[in-house]
Every structure is written in C-alpha cells, then in structure tokens.
Structure 1
C-alpha cells in the first residue's frame, strides 16, 4: 500500500541525504539476536524474553498469520496492554507484511467501529478480559457489523468457549510455529521502508473520534535514531513503559527507540504508583516513559525508600508537565526530565538532550532533530528576525505520509513541498525552540500579542497554584483580554490581587496581565490525553460574560 503524500522526489531526497534507510524495525531485532542473543529484550510480570527468543517468536507469529491466509498489506488492529506479547504482535505484523494499528486498551466501541470500518481491518489482537472489561463481547458485535473482520487472536494462553469460531491464542500459535518459521517466505513479504505504509497511528482528536495517520517505516526509524542520540541510549539501558506503549509517551522510548540500541524494555501492565516504583527498583530501570499524571502519583509515594539509583532520565509526554512537578521529580528521582516537540499529525520536530542544562530542558523543546528544517513566520508569511516570536513551520524526514487514504485532509496539513506547522508560536534562541504558545491560543489585546504559555509558566511557579490556563475573553474595546483559570493547591487561597502582585514582581508588561481570575476545582481535559481543553474554558468565560458576570 503506497503512502499517499510522499513523492518519489521526496523519498530520493531523504535517502540521498542519509536520513532515511531501507531498514525496518525487525532488522534491529535480528541484529540484536545475532549480537546479544542471551541478553534480555522484553520483560513483563509473566514473561522474560531474550533477543534471540524475541526474534524466533516474532518469526513464528508472523508465519502463523501468513499461513492463516492474510494477504500482504492487510490492516490489523492490536489493542494491547503493556506486555511482552503486545510488543511481539506489533513487530510480527511488520515481519508478516501487515499494516498494524496499535490502539489504547481503554478505547471502546464508538472509537473502534470507526477504525475497523475505515481500515477494513481483517484481524484484531486483543485480551479476553482486561480491567474487568470483556473485549471478546465487544468485538463480537463489531464482527457482526463489519464482515471484513474475520480473525481474532487473544493475548491469553487459552480460548474461552464464548469466543467466536476460529479465535486463536497468540501464545499457543507462537509455540506451535516456533522453529517452523520460514524466514524466506517472510522475506518475500517484507515491507518497503520508504515505498509502503508500514503502520498506522491514531490522534487524540477533540471530537472523540480519532484520525488515523499513515507512516512508512523510514520516518519512524529516522526519529527513533534521533531519540537514541539525544537520550544517549545504549545496550546497557533498561527502559520501562509506565504509560501505555500504544502512545508516544512510552512507545517512542520503548517500542521504537530501545531496540535500536539493544536496550531492554520492561512493561508495567497496569499503572499503580507503588508497583511502578517496585518494578523500577527490582529491574534497575534506567529510563521510563510516563505522562505527567504518573509522575504526580509516584511523587505521592515514599520514593526515597526505593533503590532507584540506576534511573538516568524520565521521558514525560502527552500533556503539560508543570515546572514545579518537574523540579520535584528531578530532585527526588535523581534523574533528568527531557522535553521535546512533536505530534502524531505532523511528526517529530525537536528534542532536548539529557545533557542539556535545566534551563534548556525546562524552558525549551530542544534543537530540531537531524534533517528537520524550521522557519518562523509572522502573520504575513515573512520570516521573523532572530530571537523574535512567530509561527513554527518545519519540513523534514520525521513526518508521516498524512491521514489514512485522505489526500484532502492531508493537504490541509502539509503543503506541496512538505512544509507543516504544529500551530505553535516559538522563538529560536541558543539553537533551541522556545514555546511561547499556540497560534490559536494567542490573545490579541488592542493589537498587542499575549502568549498564554509565558503567563502560565510564571503562574505555575506560585506556591498556591496547582494548575493554570490562560485564555482569551471577548472585550468590546480591546477585542480580547486575558483571563486566567487557576486550580489552587488544596486548602490554599489565591486571589486576583495575589496573581497581579506576583506577575508584576516578575517585571512583565502590564498589558499581558490577566484581567480576570476564575478559580476551578478541576481543569477540563482533551479525552485521556491530560491536556487542558482551552476551548471549553473559552466557551465558559464567553458564557459568563454574556450573562453579565464580572
């Protein structure tokens, strides 16, 4: 299946410049199996697998799927908790020439019916029961509605009687074909790393229905290599998926980057803060992938009672990490926290090195990744002078092909030459990108630009503030003014005068001061991403102003 956006000229450009190769992710499993055969590769609470075993199991699963009659390029949905066989299913799909879509375990029928329909998925790989939810029953209904979906494989050692006819155990099939795989047969189904769609990912989406994104394998390999470099990953590292591996917070570190370096990955099947710390200590984990909520929950524990001396760095993504939380985490975990910029829609843009200073890691999203070219434009499309804020545009080898089989939607994100924007207002200083705010969130007060991220960054350092979001509110005279929504820390008071005094002490221009304060017990978020939904806040303040509230 050919990617919809990449032209032959773009492919040859990135190959010629050396940023893309013809490598697939399975190639690194083979490399590690040859060089580190007895070194552990994947670990969860039930299984421990070496690189040689991981290669052999991958070949076995891939052979089982090919012999089941799945044509090359068939789409398969993998709905997997963090687990050894979840990883093996993903890499086996690539090995079998199948296009995998790995999704969060918490997705339900509303989201999945869209995915099954649009991809015409022929197979799903699922648990029977996870967190007391019966996935078999859900997929029975989906199979009845979408006849293309014919096969179910379970992350279970047995198949219950309730399962549809033909349902198989992934573990049983792996053992059945172990030692019987035909690598030459699989080689014939090898995906072209630049010319084929290799995998799909899903976006969060504010409507609740995710969009699907096409990826050739090359840009994902390219990004993973870039991450290995800035994180200084080696075969001595032990990474851990605390967040779900289906998402970028943990998946980028563990599924994509770790095999490149020959690093081991440990899987936490279900998040519990104490269990997470126990596993980190027992396995001597050197790097973890989390969302901010995981850090907050772990910081509530007696971290100092666990031996976490091996931990080098924490990859936090998927939501805003308040500087106070980051500072406390670095102090108590004795590990650095990295920051970076990228989205499922446009790809990876930049990242901080683990060796960067606290200022750069906390205040910037690092340097552009190798091969990425950035430009910072004003509202008229002109490049801004050095150090001045403008909208970030970038082009490079880390971007996806676009939205699944949707050229029109794709052309709204990437222009003909491959340029795209994250929608962020940034400035370039010390070779790093400093985020000032989102273009759509920028507030224009009487012709003067206010960047919410700047004000939020300052207010997050107030001892009484737990979380903050600054949004524009309509104003007849100025067009817009700034309104600050604040969740105070438990039991602490925070007033408009507290906010004003604190910000003025930071020597910011008076026009940037929020002119209204709204206290809230909890911020609205976008789905399960942890990101504050500012659209809800904008609607809330507009409604209150319409009601004449002051």
Structure 2
C-alpha cells in the first residue's frame, strides 16, 4: 500500500540530504542479534529476552502470521499494555509486511469501531483481560460487526474456552515457529521504507474520535536517530516505558529509539508509583519515558529511599510540565529533564539536548530537529519580525504521510510543498522554541492576547499549585476572560485574591490574571496521553458558571 503524500521528489530530497535511509526498525533487531547477541533487550515482570532471542521471536511470530495466510499490507491492531510481547508483536508486524496500528489500552468499543471501519483490519493482538477489563468479550462483539476482523492473537499463554474460533496464543505461536522460521519469505515481504505505509498511529482525540495517521518507516527512523543524538543514547543505556508505549511519551524513547542503538528496554505493565521506583532501582534504569502525571505521583513517594543513581534523564511528553515540577524532579531523581515538541499527525519538530542548560531544558522545547525548516506567521499570514511570537509552521523529514486513506483531510493539513502548522504560538529565543500557547487556546480579552502557557508557567511556581490549566470563559464586556483550573498540593488551599497577589509579585500584566479560579481534584486528560483536556474544562465551565 503506497503512502498518500510523499512523492518520489520528496524522497529524493531527504535521501540526498542524508536524513532518510533504507533502514527499517527490524534491521536494528537483526544487527543487535549479531553484534550484541547475549545482551538483554526487553524486560517486563514475566519475560527477559536477549537481542538474539528477540530477533528470533520476531521472526517466528512473523513466520506464523505469513503461514496463517495473512497477506502483505493487511492491517493489524495491536492493543498492548507495556510488555515484551507487545514490542515483539509490533516488530513482527513490520517483519511480516503487515501495517500495524498500535492502540492505547484505554480505547474501547466506540473508538475501536471507528478504527476497524477505516482500516478493515484483519488481525488483532490483545490481552484477554487487563486492569479488570474483558478485552476478549469486546473483540468478540467487534468480530460480529466487522467480518474483516477474522483472527485474534492473545498475549496470554492459555486461550480461554469462550474465545472465538481460531483464537491463538501469541506466545505459543512464537515458540512453535522458532524452529520453522522462513527468513527468505520474510525478506520478500520487506516494506519499502520510503513509499509503503508501514505504521498507523492515532491522534489523541481531543476534537472527537481519534484520527488515523499513516507513516512509512523512513521518517520514523529519521526522528529516532535525531532523538538518540539529543539524548546521547547508547547500547549501555537502560530505557524504561512508564507511560504507554502506544504513545509518544514512552514509545519514542523505548520502541523506536532504543533498538537503533542497542539499548535495553524495561516495561512497566501497569503504572504504580512505588513499583515504578522499585523497578527503576532494580534494573538500574538510565532513562524513563513519562507524562507529567507520572512524575507528580512518583514525587509524592519517598523517592530518596530508592537507589536511582543510574538515572541520566527523564523524557517527559504528552502534556505541559511546569518548570517548578521539573526542578523538583531533577533535584530528587538526580537526573535531567528533557522536553521536545511533536504531534502524532504533524510529526516531530524540535527537542532539547540532555546537555542543554537547565533553564532551556525546563522552559523550552529545544532546537529544531535536523532537516526541519520553520516559519513563524502572524494573523495576517506573513512572517513575523525577529523575536516576535507567531504561529509555528514547519516542513521536513520527520512528518507522516498524511491521514490514512484520506487525501482531502491530508491536503487540508499539508500543503503541496509539505508545510503544516502545529497551531502553537511560539517565539525563538537563544536558538530554542518557547511555546506560548495553542492558537485556538489564546484568550482574547478586550483585544489583548493572553497566552495560557505563559500564565500557567507562572502559576505553577505557586507553592500551593500541583497542576494548572488556563482556559477562556465568555464575557459580555471583554469577549473573553481567563479562568484557572487548579489541582492543589496536598493540604494546601488557594483563593483568587491570593493568586492575584502572587501574579502581581511576578510583575505580570494585570489583564493576564485569571478572573475565576476553579479548584478541582484531578486534571482531565485525553486517554493515556497525559495531555490536559481543555475542551472538557471549557465544557465544565459552560455547564457550571453563570457569565455576565
């Protein structure tokens, strides 16, 4: 299946410049199996496999799928918690020439129906039960509605009696085919890294059902190499997926980047802050992938009781990480925080080096990734003067091929030359991107722009604030005013007047101050992504507040 957006001219451009190569992620498994055969590759609470074992298991699973008659470019949904076999299934899909769609474990029938309808997936790889939820029952119903979905593979060793006919154990399939690997056939099913659709990802779904995004392998490999350079990642590192590997926060570090340099990956199947800290100490983890919520919950524990001396850096993504929380995490974990910018449907934009000064790592999203071009545009569509804020537009070798089989939507987002916008309002300073807010989230109060990220950054320095989100509320006089939703630190309180006094002490313009304060127990997020769901906050505000 050929990609929608990339043309041969674009491929030639990025290949000539050295950003794209013909390497795949499976190539890294194969190389590591030869060069680091006995080094551990993947670890979870049940399994530990070396690079040679990982490569052979990937080949065995892929062989089993080919012999089952699954055609090349068939779509396969992998709804996997963090696990060794979740990773192996993703790599095996690539090896077998199957287009994999890795779904968050939190997705349910409504979202999956949309995915299955769009992809006509033939195969799903799932747990029978996870976190008390019966996935097998859900997929049994989905198979009735979507006849294209004909095969289920379970991460479990034993297939329950009530499973649909033909359901197989992925682990048993892997071991059954270990002695029957057909590498010659698998080699013939190799994806073209430039023009074949190999991967599907989903957006976070903040505006409705998640959108499907199609990727060839070349831009994913390109971004992974860029991240490896920023993080100084090597074969001696031990990465850990604390956030779900289906998303970027942990997936970029562990599934995509780690194999390219031979680093080991440890998987935390279900987040528990104390288990996470214990695992980090036991496995001598050097890098973790988290969303900010994970850091908050771990910092509530006695971090100092665990030997985390091996930890080098923390990759936080998927949501806003306040400078205050970043400083606390760096001090208590003894590791540096690194941030970056990217989206599932537009691609990767920028990133901080682990060696950057603390202020830049905590307050910016770093420098543009190699090959990315950037423009900052004003409301008139013209490039803004130097040092002025503007809406971020970029193009480069780190972007996907568009929305899955949807040329109309793809053309609405990417122009003919490949330019697109993240819709972030940003500024350049000290060579780095500083995010001021989302274009759609900018609050216009009486003709003056309030950038929520700026106000949130200041409010996060208040000792009572654990998390904050600033959203617009309608106002008859000014059009919009700012409302701050705050999660308080344990045992703390905060009143609106005290908040205003605090912002006054920060010398910030008065028109930017929130004029309503809502203290809530938990900040709503979009699934497992960690992103604050500002749409939900605005809906809550509309439902509860009486506006002038």
TM-score range (shorter-chain normalised) is: over 0.9
Aligned residue number for residue 272 of structure 1 = 272
* Cα RMSD (Å): 1.6
Matches within 5 A, 1:150-189: 150-189=150-189
The corresponding residue for 2:375 is 375
Deviates more, 1:520-529 or 1:442-451: 520-529
Q: Report the number of matched residues.
A: 548
- Contact persistence 1:111–1:208 (CA under 8 A): no
Residue aligning to 2:200: 200
Structure 1 residue 77 corresponds to structure 2 residue 81: no
Q: Which residue of 1 aligns with 2:463?
A: 463
Structure 2 equivalent of residue 516 of structure 1? 516
Question: What is the CA distance between 1:337 and its match in structure 2?
Answer: 1.1
The 5-angstrom pairing of residues 311-326 of structure 1 reads 311-326=311-326
Cα deviation per residue 1:488-537 (whole Å; 9 max; x = unaligned)?
33443322221222112222223323333344444333344333332343
2:252 maps to 252
Partners of 1:40 and 1:314 lie apart in 2 by 21
CA offsets per residue over residues 9-40 of structure 1, 9 Å max, x none? 11111111111111110001111111111111
> Which residue pairs with 2:499 in the alignment?
499
- 1:45-444 pair list within 5 angstroms: 45-444=45-444
Given that residues 224 and 256 in structure 2 are in contact (C-alpha distance below 8 angstroms), is that contact kept between their aligned partners in structure 1? Answer: yes
Deviation at 1:373, TM superposition (A): 0.6
Kindly indicate whether the alpha-carbon contact (under 8 Å) linking 2:247 and 2:529 is maintained by their aligned counterparts in 1.
no
Moved more, 395-404 or 410-419: 410-419
Report what 1:41 is aligned to.
Answer: 41
State how far apart, in whole Å, the 1-side matches of 2:452 and 2:104 are: 31
Alpha-carbon distance in 1 for matches of 2:69, 2:469: 52
Residues 414-443 of structure 1: per-residue CA shift (max 9 Å, x gap) = 111111111110001111000011111112
Give the CA deviation at 1:181.
Answer: 1.2
Q: Does 1:447 align with 2:447?
A: yes
Partner of 2:534: 534
Question: Which deviations, in whole Å up to 9, do the C-alpha atoms of 1:125-145 show, x marking residues without a partner?
Answer: 111222222222211111111
SS at match of 1:179: helix
8 Å Cα contact 2:474-2:547 kept in structure 1:
no
Query: Residues 106 and 528 of structure 2 are in contact (CA less than 8 Å); yes or no, is this contact kept in structure 1?
Result: no
Match of 2:463, SS?
coil
Q: Distance in 1 between matches of 2:329 and 2:244?
A: 20
Per-residue displacement from partner, 1:387-424 (whole Å, max 9, x unpaired)? 11110001001001111111111122111111111111
For structure 2, the 5+ residue unaligned runs are none
CA distance in 1, matches of 2:242, 2:224: 19
Secondary structure in structure 1 of the residue aligned to 2:218: helix
Provide closer, same or farther for how the CA distance between residues 460 and 37 of structure 1 changes in structure 2, counting only shifts above 3 A. same
Q: In structure 1, what is the Cα distance between the partners aligned to 2:547 and 2:386? A: 44
Q: Aligned pair in 2 of structure 1 residues 478, 129: CA closer, same or farther (>3 Å)?
A: closer
Q: Cα 1:242–1:487, aligned 2, differ >3 Å: closer, same or farther?
A: closer
Aligned-partner SS, 1:412: helix
- 2:206–2:535 CA contact under 8 A, matched in 1: no
Q: Distance in 2 between matches of 1:264 and 1:539?
A: 43
CA contact (8 A) 2:106 2:527 kept: no
Deviation, 1:99, is 0.3
CA distance in 1, matches of 2:282, 2:48: 14
Q: Deviations over 1:313-347 (max 9, x none)?
A: 11111222232222211111101111110110101
CA–CA separation in structure 2 for the residues paired with 1:406 and 1:85 = 31
Task: Quote the Cα distance in structure 1 between the aligned partners of 2:92 and 2:534.
Answer: 40
* Structure 2 Cα separation of the partners of residues 282 and 117 of structure 1: 43
Cα separation, 2, equivalents of 1:223 and 1:22: 14
Shift of 1:349: 0.4
| Residues 438 and 38 of structure 1: CA distance in aligned 2, closer, same or farther (over 3 Å) | same
Partners of 1:408 and 1:336 in 2: CA distance: 42
**Which runs of no fewer than 5 residues in structure 1 stay unpaired?**
none
1:539, CA displacement in angstroms?
A: 4.3
* Cα pair 1:79 1:126 within 8 Å, conserved: yes
Tell whether the 8 Å contact from 2:215 to 2:401 is kept in structure 1 after alignment.
yes
Cα shift readout 1:146-185 (whole Å, capped 9, x = no counterpart)? 1111111111222222112211111111111113212111
What TM-score, normalized by structure 1, do the two folds share? 0.96
Check conservation: 2:339, 2:352, Cα contact below 8 A. yes
Which deviates further from its counterpart, 133-142 or 473-482? 473-482
The whole-number CA distance in structure 2 between the counterparts of 1:329 and 1:382 is 40
- Please give the alpha-carbon distance, in whole angstroms, between the structure 2 residues aligned to 1:326 and 1:392: 25
Deviates more, 1:266-275 or 1:475-484: 475-484
CA distance in 1, matches of 2:546, 2:8: 54
Confirm or deny: 8 A CA contact 1:206 1:527 kept in the other structure: no
Give the drift of 1:475. 3.3
SS in 1 for 2:179: coil
1:207–1:384 distance in 2 versus 1, CA, 3 Å: closer
The alignment partner of 1:471 has SS state of strand
- Write out per-residue CA displacement over residues 94-140 of structure 1, whole angstroms, 9 at most, x where no aligned residue: 00010001112222211112112211111111112222222222111
C-alpha change, 1:460 and 1:65, in structure 2 (3 Å) is: same
